[in-house]
Amino acid sequence: MFSFLGRLREFWNETITEVFVKASWPTLKELADSTLVVIVVIALLGAVVFLCDFSLSNFVQFATHLVR
């Protein structure tokens, strides 16, 4: 039981060291720039998916009206 608690404490201490000492966190400017890039890319991908969906649904409607 003691070895388990010792290993757990060691894991916790290493995790805290990794997160707060060794990790390099972005500056506020870097974070804002990255967030803007993500928002723009998501908007572009959403527009592409919308165009594909709209085009394909209209094509299927057109093709089914030709067959009827």
How high is the pLDDT of residue 23?
A: 85
- For residue 54, pLDDT beyond 80: yes
- Does residue 2 carry a pLDDT above 70? no
Residues listed for the chain = 68
pLDDT, tens only, 15-51: 999 988 888 889 999 999 999 999 999 999 999 999 9
What per-residue confidence (pLDDT) applies to 22? 86
pLDDT of res. 1: 62
- Spell out the domain ranges in the chain: 25-68
In this predicted structure, the answer to whether residue 59 has a pLDDT above a threshold of 90 is: yes
Distance CA 65, CA 68 (A): 5
In the DSSP assignment, the letter for residue 68 is -
Instruction: Tell me the CA distances in angstroms from 41 to 2, 23, 44, 56, one per residue in order.
Output: 51, 27, 5, 22
